[in-house]
Amino acid sequence: MVGLFPKPVLRFKKGTTLFPANGFKYNLEPYSGPDRIRLGLMARRSLKKYALNLVRNIVFGIDGYKGMAKWFKTYIKFPPKTVFKEKYDEFDDGLEDLSDCDIVLIVIPDEKAYSYDEDPYMPLKQRAALLGLPTQMICESTLKYLRDRDYVLLNLALSIYSKVGGIPWIIGSKMFSKNFIGIDITRNGVAVFILHMSKKIFFDWRIHLSPTVEVIYGLDKIILDAFEILYKNCGEIDSIVIHRDGNIFEGEVEAIRNAISIGLSEDIFAENFSWHIVEVKKKIIPKIVGYRYGRLTNPEKGYFYKIDLYRYLITTSGFPEHPYIAESGLARPIIVELVDTSNWETDMYMIARDIYWLSELHWASAFSSTRLPITTLYPHRICGFWSAGIYPSEKYYNKLWFL
């Protein structure tokens, strides 16, 4: 069976739309967030003029982009608190002077401008993480040549707003479950992303650092902690869907089952509680192709192919953002598979549909969604930072510092 999932309705504070950018153009306002942000700025002294112009554009707007003051209803003092240095190797010390800010914009050299050992990106991220300070990196070329582009400014504003705890939009369509837990496991440990979505939205994340063998044996406690966080903040849990990034191992399934058993004994679940464990696989071979106006194209987002009763192949990227086939090839779909559940008669269509919808909930861009649902994308990004030696502070909880 093949078909097309409906596109999710996105809910802003004052209305709904199918496309994030329209939510701002129609002045629907972000769903929730801060009305004031303490912004810091760090750049080389030779780029001072460019950097301040960029911040002015982000705050007050230019051309079609109307600025954070109008579109986000957020006050940012201008000029912001600034630190300008002659060289990049002086930036590390400057972060201390900006530690009272909510977020810091840091201008860094373009990729490959420096060797890996000399690139300031990772050292600055590491230092900022130790200070519990969210950052938004901006390449020099973006600063010089794209500082007045509408789409660049809106995406930067979204990242700033989201990293300090703002929620630009939520999914307004009714979902199969209100509760989700996303998991990714690496040799460094496990990252868990917690999401609740009903009339309100709640998200959080937790990490557990240890060798993989210990993570597997301790996974039941990590999952139980996630259940308890959901219960404490959102009330009794009637159902939950757990998304595992990539293949899930038998020991992990058993650990999740153990956590559910303990949760049942602690009365954090409703009487008719249901649970579902789903793999979200991104390293796959099959592709789907589209055909428009006499030529082969990328498929439309939301297109699916039902492989069997419990497996779906889904296109989460492609038309309309990327209609044409790039040199790298077709847009890559994902495969989702139900691997364990409290009820094997569950409608897998709705579970697969929700995974597509959750790929539309990424708050770093108003123009392009992500290939993965945020429930696996965000834990995967956290694990990626671990691999580079960046360990986030607890001050980052409830903030999407990894966007």
pLDDT in tens, 310-369: 999 999 888 777 777 776 667 789 999 999 999 999 999 999 999 999 999 988 888 888
Q: Which long-range contacts (CB under 8 A, 24 or more apart) does 200-208 make?
A: 201/31, 201/32, 201/167, 201/170, 202/230, 202/233, 202/234, 203/398, 204/229, 204/233, 204/397, 204/398, 205/378, 205/379, 205/382, 205/397, 206/397, 207/382, 207/386, 207/392
For residues 79 and 174, membership in a common domain is answered with no
For residues 225 and 371, membership in a common domain is answered with yes
For residues 47 and 83, membership in a common domain is answered with yes
Q: How many CB atoms lie within 10 A of CB 270?
A: 12
Hey, which residues does 185 pair with through a beta bridge? 190
Q: Does residue 143 lie in a domain region?
A: yes
Q: Does residue 235 lie in a domain region?
A: yes
- 403 vs 365: CA distance, rounded Å: 10
pTM comes to 0.90
Domain count, the chain: 2
Q: Where are the alpha helices (DSSP H) in 19-171?
A: 20-25, 48-60, 68-71, 91-97, 121-131, 140-145, 150-163
Q: How many CB atoms lie within 10 A of CB 157?
A: 27
- Token readout for 219 is 């996974």
For residues 82 and 194, membership in a common domain is answered with no
pLDDT at position 21, please?
93
User: Over the stretch 342-358, which tens digit does the pLDDT of each residue have?
Assistant: 999 999 999 999 999 99
pLDDT at position 70, please?
94
- Token readout for 394 is 């607890």
Segments forming the whole domain that contains residue 240: 170-396
For residues 178 and 257, membership in a common domain is answered with yes
Residues 148 and 342: beta-carbon distance below 8 Å: no
For residues 136 and 193, membership in a common domain is answered with no
For residues 258 and 122, membership in a common domain is answered with no
For residues 309 and 197, membership in a common domain is answered with yes
For residues 179 and 272, membership in a common domain is answered with yes
User: Rounded to the nearest 5°, which phi and psi values hold at 331?
Assistant: -60, 135
pLDDT at position 72, please?
95
For residues 139 and 178, membership in a common domain is answered with no
Domain boundary among 114, 134, 163: 163
**pLDDT, one tens digit for every residue, the chain (403 residues):** 889 999 999 999 999 999 999 999 999 999 999 999 999 999 999 999 999 999 999 999 998 999 999 999 999 999 999 999 988 888 878 888 998 999 999 998 886 555 555 677 778 888 887 787 889 999 999 998 888 899 999 999 999 999 998 999 999 999 999 999 999 988 768 889 999 998 789 999 888 766 545 555 578 888 999 999 999 999 999 999 999 999 999 989 999 999 999 988 888 998 899 999 999 999 877 777 777 777 787 888 899 999 999 999 999 888 777 777 776 667 789 999 999 999 999 999 999 999 999 999 988 888 888 899 999 999 998 888 777 777 776 777 777 877 7
Q: Does residue 185 lie in a domain region?
A: yes
CATH of the domain at 115: 3.40.50.2300
CATH of the domain at 219: 3.30.420.10
Domain boundary among 131, 146, 163: 163
For residues 227 and 366, membership in a common domain is answered with yes
Domain boundary among 163, 189, 215: 163
pLDDT at position 215, please?
54
Q: Does residue 270 lie in a domain region?
A: yes
Q: Does residue 15 lie in a domain region?
A: no
First to last CA, the chain: 35
228, 230, 236, 242: CA torsion to nearest 10:
-100
The total number of residues shown for the chain amounts to: 403
| Chain Cα centroid distance, residue 182 | 11
Q: Does residue 381 lie in a domain region?
A: yes
For residues 158 and 191, membership in a common domain is answered with no
Q: Does residue 25 lie in a domain region?
A: no
Q: Does residue 403 lie in a domain region?
A: no
